[in-house]
Amino acid sequence: MSQHRIWWGVLITILWLMAPQVSTVSAAEAVSPPTVLITGSNRGIGLGLTRAYAEAGWHVLATCRNPDGATELAALAKQHPLVEIESLDVTDANGIAALAEKIADRPIDVIINNAGIIGNPRTQTWGNLDIEQYQDVLAVNTIGPLLVAEAFLPHLRRGQQKKILNVSTSEASFGADRGPARIPFYRSSKAALNMLMLNYAKMAAQEGIAVGLANPGPVDTDMMKGVNMPLRSVELAAAELIAIVDKLDVDNSGTFWDYDGSELAW
């Protein structure tokens, strides 16, 4: 063998060793699972959503005010390694910003603003309106979702799906007769959330971010204790809300959905 051929063979070997090797990992394995951030994940619909997304293989950022007391959520996280529990009070702007900074390098595909309160119905009656309580209800139900959406906007921009779903209620509809006057703090706070997020949807659309609102209907949660009406299961409500998330896009952004997928009157 000539010296020229020997050096040529050595050169080819060196180039082969330096070249990037083709991975044997499939495309499906190489893609990270999508991520959803859910507020109020420790109970009720929030816990149901966390469980459903975890079972579907999503990475779930499950947030609540007191993780130490969230025993069911902790048990769920032990079963599903992709469930990550984080402390988050939606009325605490500094705390929200701190969590956003903590996960600054993480993309988020979907945000579900689920945390909400009704307040004490006894102090939402004619001649007995507790205005301080009303401020608390507004802070959680109306301002909180906006604080969360704004703080995690950079994460949504890096996500693939770019969706925000806000859990509202049919009690907030001006277009439907909801019967006797009751829980005005809750109803008006959600009506304000609807208008706020309708406008937010119009602003977010320019960046390809879809924003929707959904009524989960009467669901068997702590919030509905003592209510004399048929209640639907948390599992069913979670599945229906996820179906709404799945069909939410920029073209239908700003829609107020009912739990069955139809549109609600504003």
Q: What is the pLDDT of residues 4-62, one digit of tens each?
A: 554 555 444 444 445 444 434 334 434 789 999 999 999 999 999 999 999 999 999 99
Instruction: Please state the domain count of the chain.
Output: 1
What pLDDT, on a 0 to 100 scale, did the predictor assign at position 2?
52
Structure tokens at 191: 């009506």
- Mark 94-118 as b/e (b = at least 16 C-beta within 10 Å): ebbeebbeebeebbbbbbbbbbbbb
Structure tokens at 265: 């009157």
Of 136, 122, 226, 265, nearest in space to 182 by CA: 122
Q: What is the mean pLDDT of residues 121-135?
A: 95
Residue 23 lies in a domain: no
Residue 22 lies in a domain: no
Mode of pairing for the β-strands spanning 110-113 and 128-129: unpaired
Chain segment 89-117, per-residue pLDDT in tens:
999 999 999 999 999 999 999 999 999 99
What pLDDT, on a 0 to 100 scale, did the predictor assign at position 259?
96
Residue 75 lies in a domain: yes
Query: Which secondary structure element, helix H or strand E, spans residue 61, and what is its range?
Result: strand 59-64
Q: For residue 149, what are the domain limits?
A: 33-257
Q: What is the mean pLDDT of residues 226-250?
A: 92
3-state secondary structure 118-163: CCCHHHEECCEECHHHHHHHHHHHHHHHHHHHHHCHHHHHHCCCCE
Q: Residue 224: give its domain's CATH number.
A: 3.40.50.720
Residue 262 lies in a domain: no
* β partners of residue 212: 165
Residue 266 lies in a domain: no
Residue 70 lies in a domain: yes
Residue 1 lies in a domain: no
Residue 19 lies in a domain: no
What pLDDT, on a 0 to 100 scale, did the predictor assign at position 261?
95
